[in-house]
Amino acid sequence: MFGFTEKEVKVFRSLNTPKKIQDFLNKIPANFELDGDTVLSPRRVLRENRAHCMEGAMFAAAALRFHGYKPLVLDLTTVKDDDDHVVAVFKHKGHWGAISKTNHAVLRYREPIYKSIRELVMSYFHEYFTNHDGRKTLRSYSLPVDLSSFDKQGWMTSEEDVWYIPEYLFEVPHTPILSRSQIAFLRRADPIEVTAGSIVEWKKK
């Protein structure tokens, strides 16, 4: 199925709810890209047992696809000195939720309780800040991108890095979430929030 081996299919079939997919992703070590930048396909995430946010989102999208969901990812963009984030999104009983691979205590799973994509995106706003100064940095988001449009390129099982997916996400239109006056009026995160935001799940070896 989808070019996966029987062993790989067995794993994906066992991940039959968004909660199980998130739990599985949490157990995969963070990909610190010690040997250079990567964009691992879902197959390679399984084999190499590592993932960063883009790789985790693609893996989650592939797993969701096995159970009748569209393989959708969404891009969250920030200011220049912070990192963008990508999540897999899904719709359950008319409401949106998200699966997220992150190494931090924030920007994680979202329950399917949000009526719109914007509502879901805004749930990340207050916890999206730089740890060195507490500046809130979330600025825009894309609409969900259906990764099935990359099926001909074999994104799910590729042995090569699938750079064309993040490159595509970079190019698609993004919706700003703040005006200039709103940005100027923002308050920085409290020191205790910054401390919580600095907690990591996996440490570099």
Residues 24-53 pLDDT 10s: 999 999 999 999 999 999 999 999 999 999
**Is residue 1 a part of any domain in this protein?**
no
Q: What is the pLDDT of residues 62-113, one digit of tens each?
A: 999 999 999 999 999 999 999 999 999 999 999 999 999 999 999 999 999 9
| Predicted pLDDT of residue 110 | 98
| Predicted pLDDT of residue 125 | 98
Q: How many CB atoms lie within 10 A of CB 25?
A: 23
Compute the average pLDDT of residues 125-143.
96
**Is residue 164 a part of any domain in this protein?**
yes
Q: Would you put residue 49 in left (φ > 0), alpha (ψ -120 to 50) or beta?
A: left
Is the pLDDT assigned to residue 123 strictly greater than 80? Answer: yes
**Is residue 118 a part of any domain in this protein?**
yes
Q: What is the pLDDT of residues 144-178, one digit of tens each?
A: 999 999 999 999 999 999 999 999 999 999 999 99
**Is residue 205 a part of any domain in this protein?**
no
Is the pLDDT assigned to residue 205 strictly greater than 90? Answer: no
| Predicted pLDDT of residue 121 | 98
Q: Which secondary structure element, helix H or strand E, spans residue 142, and what is its range?
A: strand 140-142
**Is residue 112 a part of any domain in this protein?**
yes
Rounded distance between C-alpha atoms, residue 39 and residue 112, angstroms: 27
The two beta strands, 85-92 and 72-77, are: antiparallel
**Is residue 123 a part of any domain in this protein?**
yes
67 with 16: CB under 8 angstroms?
Answer: yes
| Predicted pLDDT of residue 75 | 98
Nearest to 21 by CA among 108, 115, 124: 108
**Is residue 136 a part of any domain in this protein?**
yes
Q: Which residue has the tokens 């099926």?
A: 151
| Predicted pLDDT of residue 60 | 98
| Predicted pLDDT of residue 117 | 98
Which structural domain range is residue 116 located in? 6-197
**Is residue 120 a part of any domain in this protein?**
yes
> How many structural domains comprise the chain?
1
Angle at 67 between CA 15 and CA 164, to 5 degrees: 90
